Amino acid sequence: MGLLVFVTVLWAFSFSLIGEFLAGQVDSDFAVLTRVLLAALVFLPFTRWRGVATGQKLGILVTGMLQFGITYLCLYRSFSYLTVPEVLLFTIFTPLYVTLIDDAMYRRFSPVALLAAAVATLGAGIIRYDGLSPDFITGFLLLQVANFTFAAGQVGYKHVMRHYPSDIPAFRTFGYFFIGALIIALPSFLIFGDGSRLPETGLQWGILAWLGLAASGIGLFLWNRGGCHVDAGTLAIMNNALVPAGLLVNLLIWNRDADLLRLAFGGAVIVSSLWLNARFHPRARLAIT
């Protein structure tokens, strides 16, 4: 649990840094590829290539493709259609996906998570009730893909490590995670990347370096390791601890003119979906007992 709290603090500024200094200025595919490469530099020197089960290698690789590769490509694109507060609020769907995916892996199903998702969608609509443009819908759907793949990666990593118990330290196998992310990020940059929109200032390069080495490299490792030591319900709820911290940073520093009343009302409806899920979903309830 302590690892999850630490990473939440580490990630608190990430959304605002992306939205204020990178989105619309630096090519999103290049930004994601840079983060993947820098994060890989942290772990590949320590990666153990022999003596690791093939299934474990492939499992960690796939979780990297999902949780980092696909997630961040969609996340960065969503900033072209949504404000930073909206991006933060709409990541609140991730815990619902965590519980749904974890249930699916155990061959269980609870309609409560789906009902909670519907309530959260209503809250999202309230925030932009007079601005449901095609651009907004595109951004919203991109972010839901990111939320789903981020949730799938977390749950998947937890199950892979449980299925392949080993004396090998986790940091010696986490390099496969970033290889998986690279399998997604490199072709995306080669196909869709815009080489004319590279970082132009030292600040932008510095932000990318911090996001790659600290937020992605250290952060994703500690987050996944923390997720291995808590139940699915706790992991689901901890996914949303970032939302109030990130919103506070953005609203106080960069976005003082936001419609706070509408954000608060729609956000309250979205938060009520979490209460609904935690109160009536049997696995999510583990987190609050």
CB 237 within 8 A of CB 287: yes
- Report the pLDDT value the prediction gives residue 20, as an integer from 0 to 100: 85
HSE value, Cβ hemisphere, 13 Å, CA-based, for 250: 28
For the segment 128-142, the average pLDDT, to the nearest whole number, is 76
Q: Which residue has the tokens 């749950």?
A: 155
**What phi and psi, each to the nearest 5 degrees, are found at residue 108?**
-120, 160
pLDDT per residue over 17-47, tens digit each? Answer: 898 899 889 999 999 999 999 999 999 999 9
Q: How many residues does the chain have?
A: 289
pLDDT tens figures, 158-171: 999 999 988 899 99
- Write the Ramachandran bin of 45: left for phi over 0, alpha for psi from -120 to 50, otherwise beta: alpha
Name the residue with higher pLDDT: 266 or 285. Answer: 266
- Look at 49 and 98; give whichever has higher pLDDT: 49
Highest-confidence segment of 170-174, 243-247, 254-258: 170-174
Q: Confidence band (pLDDT; 50, 70, 90) for 289?
A: very low
Distance, in Å, from the CA atom of 48 to the CA atom of 250, rounded to the nearest integer, reads 40
Distance CA 21, CA 80 (A): 12
Query: What pLDDT, on a 0 to 100 scale, did the predictor assign at position 284?
Result: 53
Q: Which two tokens stand for residue 201?
A: 């200032």
CB-CB contact of 76 with 31 (8 Å)? yes
The candidate with the shortest Cα–Cα distance to 71, out of 220, 197, 221, 266, is: 220
The reported pLDDT for the residue numbered 130 is 54
User: Which positions ≥6 away from 86 have C-beta within 8 Å?
Assistant: 127, 128, 139
Q: What share of the chain is helix, strand, coil (3-state, %, to 5)?
A: 80, 0, 20
Q: What was the pLDDT predicted at 14? A: 87
Whole-angstrom distance, CA of residue 275 vs CA of residue 289:
13
Break the chain into its structural domains and give their ranges.
Answer: 2-288
Q: Is 156 left (phi over 0), alpha (psi -120 to 50) or beta?
A: alpha
Asked whether residue 288 carries a pLDDT value surpassing 60, the answer given is no
Both tokens of residue 12? 């608190």
Least Cα distance to 90 among 273, 276, 227, 286 occurs for: 273
Q: Mean pLDDT, to the nearest integer, of 147-155?
A: 94
Percent of the chain surpassing pLDDT 70:
80
